[in-house]
C-alpha cells in the first residue's frame, strides 16, 4: 500500500505504518468503517462484502484488531452473517503487541425486533457479545440472549440511546470503538454526535441501481470533516476523515 496524503508522509507503507494510521488515540474514540462503490453505493447484491477487496479487508481488519470493541447494527450483523471476531495468529500477535485483550467483543444494537434469539453474533461468538437493546424488547428474547452468554444492556425505553450505550461500553473499559455498520446505525451515531472518525474505502466499482448510502436516518447539521490520510492500492482508495463538528442535531 502507498500513502498519498498527507504529502509529507507519502510513500510505501509496511505493516507498522498501517498500524500507525489505523490505530486509535488514547481515551474514548469511535471510528466508523464503511466501503462504498465509486458512485456511492453501500452494497452490491444487498451485501457490503460484495464491494470489498483485499486492500479494504486489510484496513477493516486493522480497525477491529486495534479496537476494544466492535459495534454493529443487528440487521447488518444478520445480513453479513457476522459471528464476532475469530482471531488468527496475526491478530492475536498484533493485539498482544498493543496490550489489548486477546479478542475484542462485539456489541450489537437492536430495539429487540431485528435480532433473533439464536443470532450467530451471539451464539457463535468466541467471547461473550453485548446486546444493546431497549426496555421494550421482549423478555423472551432478552432471556435467550443472556442464556447464550451475551451481556444484555438496556439503553432506552423504545429506541436505543446510543449515548448511554457508548457510556456503558466505556464503563466496561471498552473505550476504543470500531463501528462496522450499518447505515442506520451510522446515521444515528452522527445524530447523537458520537462519531470521531470515518474510515471510508472507495471500491473501484460502479453499481448504479437503488443501493443506499453509508448513512441514513434523521437530518443532521452537516458535520465538517478533516482529511487525515489517503492510502491507495489496486485502484482502491482508503480515506480517513476526522469529524470536526460532532454537534449532531
Over residues 25-59, the pLDDT tens digits come to 999 999 999 999 999 998 888 888 889 899 999 99
Q: What is the pLDDT of residues 209-247, one digit of tens each?
A: 888 899 998 888 888 999 999 999 999 999 999 999 765
> Over the Cα atoms of the chain, what is R_g?
18
Cell numbers found for residue 123? 451464539
Q: What is the pLDDT of residues 141-158, one digit of tens each?
A: 999 999 999 999 999 999
CA dist 169 and 9 (Å) reads: 34
Residue 129: CB atoms within 10 Å: 30
**Is pLDDT above 50 for 11?**
yes
Choice between 245 and 18, residue whose per-residue pLDDT is larger? 18
CA dist 188 and 49 (Å) reads: 22
**Is pLDDT above 70 for 112?**
yes
CA angle 37, 33, 196 (to 5 degrees): 125
**Are 12 and 232 in contact, with CB atoms under 8 Å apart?**
no
**Are 131 and 97 in contact, with CB atoms under 8 Å apart?**
no
The beta strand positions in the chain, using DSSP E, are 2-5, 11-12, 29-37, 69-73, 106-109, 130-133, 151-154, 176-179, 197-203, 225-233, 236-243
Domain 24-243: top CATH class: alpha beta
Residues above pLDDT 90, as percent of the chain: 86
Q: What is the pLDDT of residues 159-209, one digit of tens each?
A: 999 999 999 999 999 999 999 988 999 999 999 999 999 999 999 999 998
The pLDDT, as a whole number, for residue 209 is 87
**Is pLDDT above 50 for 249?**
no
Amino acid at each position: 500500500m502507498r500513502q498519498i496524503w498527507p504529502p509529507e508522509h507519502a510513500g510505501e507503507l509496511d505493516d507498522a505504518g498501517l498500524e500507525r494510521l489505523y490505530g486509535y488515540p488514547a481515551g474514548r474514540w469511535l471510528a466508523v468503517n464503511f466501503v462504498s462503490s465509486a458512485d456511492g453505493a453501500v452494497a452490491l447484491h444487498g451485501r457490503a462484502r460484495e464491494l470489498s477487496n483485499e486492500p479494504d479487508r486489510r484496513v477493516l481488519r486493522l480497525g477491529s484488531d486495534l479496537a476494544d470493541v466492535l459495534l454493529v447494527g443487528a440487521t447488518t450483523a444478520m445480513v453479513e452473517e457476522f459471528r464476532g471476531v475469530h482471531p488468527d495468529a496475526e491478530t492475536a500477535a498484533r493485539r498482544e503487541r498493543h496490550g489489548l485483550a486477546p479478542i475484542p467483543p462485539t456489541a450489537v444494537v437492536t430495539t429487540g425486533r431485528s435480532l433473533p434469539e439464536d443470532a450467530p453474533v451471539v451464539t457463535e461468538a468466541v467471547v461473550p457479545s453485548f446486546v444493546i437493546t431497549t426496555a421494550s424488547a421482549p423478555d423472551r428474547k432478552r432471556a435467550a440472549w443472556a442464556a447464550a452468554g451475551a451481556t444484555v444492556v438496556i439503553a432506552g425505553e423504545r429506541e436505543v440511546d446510543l449515548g448511554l450505550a457508548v457510556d456503558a461500553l466505556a464503563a466496561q473499559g471498552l473505550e476504543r470503538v470500531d463501528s462496522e455498520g450499518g447505515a442506520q446505525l451510522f446515521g444515528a451515531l452522527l445524530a447523537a454526535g458520537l462519531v470521531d472518525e470515518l474510515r471510508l474505502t472507495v471500491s473501484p466499482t460502479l453499481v448504479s441501481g437503488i443501493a443506499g448510502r453509508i448513512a441514513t436516518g434523521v437530518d443532521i447539521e452537516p458535520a465538517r470533516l478533516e482529511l487525515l490520510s489517503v492510502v491507495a492500492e489496486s485502484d482502491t482508495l482508503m480515506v480517513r476523515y476526522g469529524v470536526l463538528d460532532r454537534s449532531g442535531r
